[in-house]
Chain A
Amino acid sequence: MGIDAAQQVGTKGEARARVPPALRLPRGVARYGYVYLFMLPAVLLLLGLTVWPLLRTFWLSVQDVNLVRPGSEFVGLANFREQLGDRTLFWPAAWHSLVWTVGSVAGEYLLGLGAAVLLNQPLRGRGLVRMLVLIPWTVPIVIAAMTWRWILQPEFGIGNVLLVRAGLLAEPVYWLGDLSTALGTTIFVNVWRSFPFFAITLLAALQAVPKELLEAAAIDGANPWQRFWKITLPHLKGVSLALIVLHVVWTFNNVEFIWLLTEGGPLHASETLATLVYRLAFRTFEISEAASLSVMMIAVLLGVGAGYLALGRRRRG
């Protein structure tokens, strides 16, 4: 810490000036010690309840542990091999994870972009609409799930009633309970819930597009379509990428929504890797299997993160 002080007095004089004089202790031992004390609670919480559990997950994944019986034994990569060879649960869940994630994020992005473009137009009452549109995102997931289950209910749900009355359906469909529609329906509900976040964020980005560029292009004879594709969209790239990556991670890991709508059913038709981890741990108490699955999910997430960083570097370079 003595070196820090010397550096600051010398070349980094401004750094020293930033420290409020009220808190500059007299020179001596532990000059900045108390600052680290400020950070301590946060760091302790993080280490204890995030880092340590993650380490434990890694440890568990190479053991054979079950919550019902005591003890554990080291089994190396057996858990991983078992998962990768599981045709009935693992691979279908992996496929569902892919469909669930890509379908949800694509739907949210497209709908959000459309809504953002719409709200960017000079319409009356824009502020109010913007506020109302955000409501699906603020509703707690439990309540959204309950409400949609009611709407999609085969006997009395208003969704089926309206579709049959409009002639689009011959008879009510058990959307959440049918093998072929369960996953798609959960994606639909997820899009409803999350598209407002995309809409609001993209709207802000749209409003940041420099107007002079658009006006210049209009003067040069570009029509609205061309202006949108060539000028507006490229300006949205950075925000879009961040949004999409964040939501891919969030959607991939999401257990709540699917669990509350279908519990991964019927017969695992909407089971994703995330719900499978939860099911293995808390329904069949196979902790080690759940842990090995978690480690594989971490690997996927790290891959996504690395991909994002690489993309960022290429854009800047």
Chain B
Amino acid sequence: MTIATGPWYRRWPLLLAYACVAVLLLYALFPVVWMVTTAFKPTPEIRTADPTFVPSRITLEHFGLVLGQSNFLVYVRNSLLVATTVTAATLIVSTLAGYAFSRFGHLRGITLAGAGLVLGQLVPGVLLVVPLYITMNNLGLLDNLWSLILTYTTFSVPLSTLMLKGFFDQVPTEVEEAAQLDGCPPSQVVWRIVLPLAVPGLLTTALYAFVQSWNEFLFGYTFISQDDRRTMTPGLADFIGLWTVDWGALMAAASLAVLPVTLAYLYLQRYLISGIATGATKG
């Protein structure tokens, strides 16, 4: 790429490219940066027609309000409960199904079930929220976290099963055969040999299920109306109504809520990007 060297006026396409990248980053990141900035600003500097980018002093009063005087931590606790249960349930169900799919995919019944899973993945939430609400009502699970646990697990199982099938496909059966030749009893083979080899797949699936469940809004908002039982995303939505003018507190709550997702993402981003990329080139 000879453009990288040479006199500056020849390099203008490259400089233009860097300028475009700067604009792109600004566009993508400014809202998030502004949110965090606002969270640390004292209220007079927020409610002004003449805001600045850098606060004159940093204050933690909004965070104090959110953590001390609201149900924010309760919401987080509920979300944690739901998300961890959903992750565990999804792992169990998807590992079983994914393994069956991978090793026994030639059986007609299995392929049928698999096709059903793929189709099930495509059903959108809004079409299910009405009948599922009625179902949960009939089961007496409204305002109960189990309604969310069941729903979220159902939503993450199809994709998780397919992901785990892909990971199991990459574990050759010869490994299982060799283990048995070495005297490993059949019942132990899956547990001791196959699963440890599929750990990256299990991790990715677990994180996917967790993030899906953590971020979900519509069903959490619809199934649970009691404030004590709310999960985090609907809880945050309630804040908008509760604190219509306290933008500092709102932004503080938002900043706190973004944290776990960002941390999870920073860990996952390698798999995420390569996963999306492989999907793209295969598709």
Contact = CB atoms under 8 A, between A and B. Distances in A.
Q: Do A and B come from one complex?
A: yes
Interface of A: 4, 8, 12, 15, 17-23, 32, 35-36, 38-39, 41-43, 45-46, 48-54, 56-57, 60, 115, 118-119, 121-123, 129-136, 138-144, 146-151, 153, 155-156, 158, 161, 192, 196-197, 200-205, 207-208, 238-239, 242-243, 249-250, 253-256, 260, 274, 277-278, 281-282, 287, 290-291, 294, 297-298, 301, 305
B226 interface: no
A239 to B, nearest CB: 5
Contact of A147 (B32, B103, B173, B186): B32
Given A22-B186, A32-B107, A287-B130, A200 B113 contact: no
Contact of A42 (B14, B31, B96, B106): B96
Contacts of B135: 49, 52-53, 56
Contacts of B106: 8, 12, 15, 18
Given A43-B113, A135-B28, A205-B281, A38 B38 contact: no
Contact of B158 (A46, A204, A239): A46
A147 B254 contact: yes
Contact of B251 (A147, A243, A254, A274): A147
5 contacts: A46-B158, A49-B154, A57-B131, A135-B29, A208-B280
Contacts of A158: 34, 51
B127 A19 contact: no
A56 B131 contact: yes
B27 A23 contact: no
Contacts of A256: 217-218
A287 B132 CA distance: 12
A277 B126 contact: yes
Contact of B127 (A57, A131, A243, A287): A57
B123 A208 contact: no
Nearest to B254: A143
A256 B233 CA distance: 11
Interface size class of B (residues with CB under 8 A): 35 or more
Nearest to B257: A143
A54 B131 contact: yes
A26 B182 CA distance: 20
A161 B151 contact: no
A282 B277 CA distance: 39
B173 A140 contact: no
A11 to B, nearest CB: 12
A71 to B, nearest CB: 14
Contacts of A202: 280
Given A22-B184, A140-B233, A294 B130 contact: yes
Rank and list the top 8 A-B pairs by shortest CB-CB distance, nearest first: A204-B277, A53-B131, A253-B124, A38-B100, A20-B176, A42-B97, A22-B189, A22-B186
Contact of B236 (A46, A52, A146, A197): A146
- Interface residues of A: mostly helix, strand, loop or mixed? helix
B179 to A, nearest CB: 7
Interface string B200-240: 00000000000000110110001000000000011011011
Contacts of B64: none
B96 A54 contact: no
A156 B247 contact: yes
B17 interface: yes
Contacts of A277: 126-127, 130
Contacts of A22: 176-177, 179-180, 184, 186, 189-190
Nearest to B107: A32
Interface in B87-123: 92-94, 96-97, 99-101, 103-104, 106-110, 113, 116-117, 120, 122-123
A196 B177 CA distance: 44
B35 interface: yes
Given A130-B273, A134-B273, A135-B29, A42 B103 contact: no
Contacts of B117: 42, 46
B247 A249 contact: no
Given A132-B28, A136-B28, A141-B217, A42 B277 contact: no
A39 B113 contact: yes
B54 interface: no
A141 B123 CA distance: 20
A48 B139 CA distance: 13
A149 B35 CA distance: 11
B46 interface: yes
Given A15-B106, A118-B20, A281 B130 contact: yes
